[in-house]
Amino acid sequence: MSPPLSGVLVLDLSRVLAGPYCTMLLADLGARVIKVEHPQEGDVTRAWGPPYDPASGMSAYYLSINRNKESIALDLASPAGAESVRRLARRADVVVENFPPGGLERFGLSLAAMREASPRLVTASVTGFGRVGPDADAPGFDLLAQAGAGLMAITGEADGEPTKIGVAVSDLLAGCYAAVGVLAALTGRERTGRGAHVEINLFSATLASLINVAQMVLVTGEEAGRHGSAHPQIVPYRTFEASDGAFVLAVGTDRQFERLATLVGRPEWSAGSYAANAGRVAGRVALESELSRILRGDTRASWLARFRAAGIPAGPVRGPLEALRSETARALDTLRAHSGVEFVAPAVRIEGEDRRLEFPPRLDEHGEAIREEFDLP
């Protein structure tokens, strides 16, 4: 079975994370992605190390977001480089870019002109804070988006400082939304015969992903706080400590809480003020304090086995390497290997399709072949 995006050509004018993550998702689904890089340094993430893969010399950061792509080095500031982009765009189905607003136009290139030359073309732009408003010129850094869109303010312990999430999640969210927008535009093109432009920014992507927290503050008119690993609207739903390590307990329904109360020897909890979630939220401090004391009385493995048997959602707190080496990851075929390097496999699985994995390209690795195929100057 051919991959769903087989035959789709993507011209990737992006770099760093949000744009390349979007194009990698498209490549994982079978699109041919031609990544345009600066002739000297290439994508800046090539130098974002250590660590580096000793065989290829590529940074782990670059390896993580550039599988299944081809690389050509073009200097967009030169007439030949800009003309090469125009020719590639005329043949492409999709163009993705994440230059600052006006950045692409400085090279005499514009997505509007590309779409005029090729009406079926789908274009996508990823910026930091959009093209209008007081922050339009702000750099598109993930840290600024996490901070400015309210995500850091709700992350961390209640008595601690606002905290950045451990990965560049605003970039990743923007990349995912951009990929969804591109796929929608490609589908619409089949009906209308014309392409469309997709506009994504890190700020809006992060705001949209606040989901229940955003709706909560809109309903109450009150600013959200931090709850550490806990949930603002569900109790108990957080990290707890056993006698030998941490685990999470996610009691999302009253029925699950009733089973929990029985299991920990407090059946009276499910008949009193804690019977409904609203009462548990109101009594969060006292309930979690007593539950914490009980849970410290046995090992993590013992609690997790008992919770699973009782149908109570719970799980271990793992480090990334521990998670990647876990039995769950192994059962789900989460890791793939190529040229002696392990990669995290694509999360999307489509029945009958073997998830492709081509090693991330060296700078200009496919340049000569692409220049010949597309008759580039």
Is the four-CA dihedral 210, 211, 216, 217 of positive or negative sign? positive
Per-residue pLDDT, 89: 98
Least Cα distance to 287 among 276, 297, 302 occurs for 276
Calculate what percentage of the chain has a pLDDT beyond 70.
100
Q: What value does the mean pLDDT take over residues 81-102?
A: 96
Encode pLDDT of 223-238 as tens digits. 999 988 888 889 999 9
Q: Are 142 and 213 in contact (CB under 8 A)?
A: no
The torsion region of residue 139 among left (phi > 0), alpha (psi -120 to 50) and beta comes to beta
Per-residue pLDDT, 232: 87
Residues carrying an active site annotation:
171
Q: Are 89 and 95 in contact (CB under 8 A)?
A: yes
Report the CATH fold assignment for 9-209+349-374. Answer: Rossmann fold (3.40.50)
CATH of domain 237-322: 3.30.1540.10
Encode pLDDT of 189-227 as tens digits. 999 999 999 999 999 999 999 999 999 999 999 999 998
Intervals of CATH 3.40.50.10540 along the chain = 9-209+349-374
Structure tokens at 87: 């020719």
Encode pLDDT of 270-328 as tens digits. 888 999 999 999 999 999 999 999 999 999 999 999 999 999 999 999 999 999 999 99
Identify which has the larger pLDDT, 163 or 352.
Answer: 163
| pLDDT value at 1 more than 90 | no
For residues 85-100, one letter each, b for 16 or more C-beta atoms within 10 angstroms of the residue's C-beta and e for the rest, the string is: beebbeebbbbbbbbe
Residues 6 or more apart in contact with residue 211 via CB below 8 angstroms: none
pTM comes to 0.92
Query: What string of DSSP letters covers 321-343?
Result: HHHHTSHHHHHTT-EEEETTEEE
Helical spans, DSSP H, in 225-276: 254-263
Helical spans, DSSP H, in 40-194: 60-64, 79-91, 111-117, 142-148, 169-192
> What span, in angstroms and rounded, lies between the C-alpha atoms of 40 and 29?
30
Cβ atoms < 10 Å from Cβ of 334: 18
Query: What string of DSSP letters covers 163-231?
Result: ---SS-HHHHHHHHHHHHHHHHHHHHHHHHS---EEEEEHHHHHHHTTHHHHHHHHHH-S-----TTS-
Encode pLDDT of 109-119 as tens digits. 999 999 999 99
> What's phi and psi for 22, nearest 5 deg?
-60, -50
Q: What is the mean pLDDT of the chain?
A: 95
Q: What band does 2 get if pLDDT is binned at 50, 70 and 90?
A: confident
Number of H helices, E strands in the chain: 15, 11
Structure tokens at 183: 């796929």
* Enclosing H/E stretch for 371: helix 367-374
Encode pLDDT of 101-151 as tens digits. 999 999 999 999 999 999 999 999 999 999 999 999 898 999 999 999 999
- Cα→Cα distances 297→230, 306, 331, Å: 21, 14, 32
Intervals of CATH 3.30.1540.10 along the chain = 237-322
Residue 153 CA from chain centroid, whole number: 20
| pLDDT value at 264 more than 90 | yes
> What's phi and psi for 84, nearest 5 deg?
-60, -40
